[in-house]
Each structure stands twice: as structure tokens, then as C-alpha cells.
Amino acid sequence: MNVQIPRGTQDILPEQARLWQWIENKVKEVTKKYRYEEIRTPIFEHTEIFARGVGDTTDIVQKEMYSFQDRGGRDLTLRPEGTASVVRSFVENKMFGYPNQPIKLYYMGPMFRYERPQSGRYRQFVQFGVEALGSADPAIDAEVIALAMDIYKSVGLKNLNLVINSLGDKESRLEHREALINHFKPRIGEFCKDCQSRLEKNPLRILDCKVDRDHELMETAPSILDYLNDDSKEYFAKVQQYLDGLGIEYTVDSTLVRGLDYYNQTTFEIMSSAPGFGAITTLCGGGRYNGLVEEFGGPETPGIGFALSIERLIAAMEAENVQVDFDDQLDFYIVALGDAAKDYSVKLLADLRNNGFTADRDYQDRKMKAQMKSANRLNANYVVIIGEDELEKGEVQVKNMQSGEQEEVKLSEFIDVVKQWFN
């Protein structure tokens, strides 16, 4: 029997889980300020949801999805990203009819992609994302970008670079598409098979190719910014105006196309410039996806969002040596000596917990010295010592582990007394 963890996955052990919980709480604090509400969707969906939503020319759909058939012969896929599922739910549950628009959502959960595991990148990874559906106002583009930046700042990251671009509206993209085809077609045989198949289907995806990114035609490819119509230019200018007003620094990069087919108008990535972070610097990516709701059978509804990997965020924190002060205080550790004291300590432990204190005790029948060492390792604030003599007297010995002072407290008054210590 193979008892090792599958390649590309990881165990989050208790000491690591504390950091994960801290990050998740920070993320939720930021989303609460922006008034985004949580949505939870299934971990698997019908395969068509991702084939249509993400795009059949993407690496995700062509190479990376974990797909299977259930016993009813239905094609299902473990979700590789979150947007398609959220939009599916938005349409299916008729959220476009809710009185308060736009609908502002966030999600957090495991995603699955079959790709080569490397530092900060796994086959099962945890993704956080937001989606704002129902507004074509460029101000919400700026809001979504600001939210992403605030999340990274809230966990202590400083070495951040924001890169933005515009892919234009449908009209602009069609003109740019023709220009790209004409540019690459004469020498498409020099490119990888994926790029050759994308030439007619979605030539914009060629610009995102990792295999041929150093080909000379990449440098001279037509820029989408040269094909933006007046409406698209005005929209992109407004997004930049709002970012400037928010004091958010950015760089415009006309080669930024993102890896998913549904993007149009604003696209963006946030990257880490921390020394030693690694070759893959992207932390977060997103953009506008007007038209995706209609693709799922809903009414015309503009949308924008982003997604980030929690693993990549943690890697960036490690690169910047961000120190986290965890709130894992242990208020009381009970040292019980003798069978009667051990029996009584069960109730005493429950009383402490029921009154809002964190408390623990020994469960390995160790001597007093070993129990005191355990209390030290757990950084207990107080140790409550109870034995047969203490029970007979109706009291306990309480030691302050910081000062070393020790005093007797009557059992009948114990909870009331210790409450005063923490006020």
C-alpha cells in the first residue's frame, strides 16, 4: 500500500494551519470592508462549465483538468478555477434579479490542476477570489484591484508590482485578432503545436505561450493598445484615472493577456519583487469578463474579478520574512496529582472553558515535574496545581508563570477570582 501523499499536494500541519487561519481571517476582514459576501460552490462541476467558461483553447482545459465520468456517465471535473462556478451559480440562482446590484462575491477553497509541481504551485491548491457582477463602471475595476492590493498589504507584503492592460471590447479584439493572425501566420510553423492550433481559434493566446515567449515575433507582435476603439480607450483611461486617485502605482503592459479566454477590457496582475522569491513572480491575476454570463444562458451582465493562490501568498511572505504574532495564548494549564484530583480536573477544565478561558491539562499520567515542563512549552499564563491535600482543603495552588508568584485560591471562588485577573 502506498501511504505517501500524492504528488503536487501537501499536508497543512497544525503549526502551519495557524498561519493559514491567520491569513484567511485577514482576507475576510478586507472583503468585509468592501462589502463582498461569501459564496460556496461545489468542488466538482459538469465539465462543460469549464470548457465553455474558461475556454477550450486554454492550457487549463486542454491539459490541466482532472475530469472523470460518474456512474451515470456524466462528464464531471474537479474545479480548476473559481469564476466559471460562480457565474454558473449567479445564473442558475437568478442573482441578476436581486435588488442590490452589483452582486459582490468572494470565495475561498481548493482548486485542482494537473501541472508540474514547483515552489508555491501545487496540483491541489487553495484559491481566493472575488467577483463583482452587474456593473460596467470602470470605478469597480479600480475597486477590485484596490481590494487585491489591500489583501497583500494586510498580511505585511511590501514588494508589490501592479501591471495592467486593456484587451478592449469585442470590436477592438476582432481587429487585433486579424492583425495577430497576419503577423504570426507566415512563420507559424516555427511555433509549438499549441500555438499552431491557436492561430485561428484564439491568436491572442499565442502571446501567453511559455514555450515560444522568446521568439522574435513575440517582440514585434501588434499591440492591443493600438487597436482600441474610442470607447475602449476612454474606459481604460478612466480605470487609470481612478487608480491614480487611489494612489495605487501601476505599469501598463500591452503584452499582458492572461491565460483565460473570457477576459476583455481591463486585465491585471500583481507580482512580487521580493529578492529570492523565484522565477514565477505572479501572485494574483484578474480582469473584466463581459459576456461570460450570457455564455451561461443569463442576461447581459458585465463582470470583473480576480483570483489569488494562498500558497503563493505564503511564499511571498516567506521571501519578505514577514513575522506573524499568533494569538494562541493558553490561559490555564491544570496539573493534577492523584486519581481524585484528576477526576476533579475534568470538571474544573470545563468550567474554565465555559467561562471563556483557554485551558488544557495532562492526559499522559505524568509526574508533576513533567507536567510543569509541558505547561512551559505551551506558554501557559497560569498553572493550576491540585492534589489530594488541595481537594481536602477545598482550594488550589495557582502559579503565575511570568512572575513565578504562587497563591492559594478557594475552589468555591476560583472562577470569580481568575476572572478578575483578566479584567
Q: Residue 259: is its pLDDT beyond 60? A: no
325, part of any domain: no
Domain encompassing residue 385? 330-421
For the chain, percent of residues with pLDDT exceeding 70: 98
Q: Which residue has the cell 451559480?
A: 89
**65 and 90 share one domain:** yes
Q: Name the pLDDT band for 252 (thresholds 50, 70, 90).
A: very high
Q: Residue 261: is its pLDDT beyond 70? A: no
356, part of any domain: yes
Q: What is the CATH number of the domain that holds 44?
A: 3.30.930.10
Could you report the per-residue pLDDT of 184-235, keeping only the tens digit for each? Answer: 888 888 888 888 888 888 888 788 777 888 888 888 888 888 889 999 999 9
**53 and 127 share one domain:** yes
346, part of any domain: yes
- pTM for the complete prediction? 0.88
**259 and 380 share one domain:** no
Per-residue pLDDT at 307: 96
Per-residue pLDDT at 186: 86
207, part of any domain: no
**237 and 377 share one domain:** no
**380 and 245 share one domain:** no
**Least confidently predicted of 141-150, 216-225, 234-243:** 216-225
**391 and 267 share one domain:** no
Could you report the per-residue pLDDT of 280-328, keeping only the tens digit for each? Answer: 789 999 999 998 999 999 999 999 999 999 999 999 999 999 999 887 7
Q: Of 85, 123, 113, 173, nearest to 6 (Cα)?
A: 123
**C-alpha gyration radius of the chain:** 28
**251 and 135 share one domain:** yes
Q: From 300, 319, 338, give the residue that closes a domain.
A: 319
217, part of any domain: no
Q: How many domains does the chain have?
A: 2
Q: From 286, 319, 352, give the residue that closes a domain.
A: 319
Q: What is the CATH number of the domain that holds 383?
A: 3.40.50.800
**Least confidently predicted of 200-204, 394-398, 401-405:** 200-204
Q: How far is CA 183 from CA 38, 146, 200, 216, 223, in A?
A: 44, 36, 12, 12, 11
Q: From 267, 296, 319, give the residue that closes a domain.
A: 319
301, part of any domain: yes
Beta bridge partners of 360: 333
Could you report the per-residue pLDDT of 96-129, keeping only the tens digit for each? Answer: 999 999 999 999 999 999 988 877 789 999 999 9
Per-residue pLDDT at 260: 61
What is the average pLDDT across 392-418?
93
180, part of any domain: no
What secondary structure, in 3-state letters, does the chain show? CCCCCCCCCCCCCHHHHHHHHHHHHHHHHHHHHHCCEECCCCCEEEHHHHHHHCCCCCHHHHHHCEEEECCCCCEEEECCCCHHHHHHHHHHCCHHHCCCCCEEEEEEEEEECCCCCECCECCEEEEEEEEEECCCCHHHHHHHHHHHHHHHHHCCCCCEEEEEEECCCHHHHHHHHHHHHHHHHHHHHHCCHHHHHHHHHCHHHHHHCCCCCCCHHHHCCCCHHHCCCHHHHHHHHHHHHHHHHCCCCCEECCCCCCCCCCCEEEEEEEEECCCCCCCCCEEEEEEECCCHHHHCCCCCCCEEEEEEEHHHHHHHHHHCCCCCCCCCCEEEEEEECCHHHHHHHHHHHHHHHHCCCCEEECCCCCCHHHHHHHHHHCCEEEEEEECHHHHHHCEEEEEECCCCCEEEEEHHHHHHHHHHHCC
**308 and 364 share one domain:** no
**68 and 108 share one domain:** yes
**58 and 102 share one domain:** yes
**Least confidently predicted of 92-101, 141-150, 207-216, 243-252:** 207-216
What value does the mean pLDDT of the chain take?
91
**308 and 376 share one domain:** no
237, part of any domain: yes
Q: Residue 370: is its pLDDT beyond 70? A: yes
Contact 191, 209 (CB under 8 A): yes
Could you tell me how many residues make up the chain? 423
**369 and 269 share one domain:** no
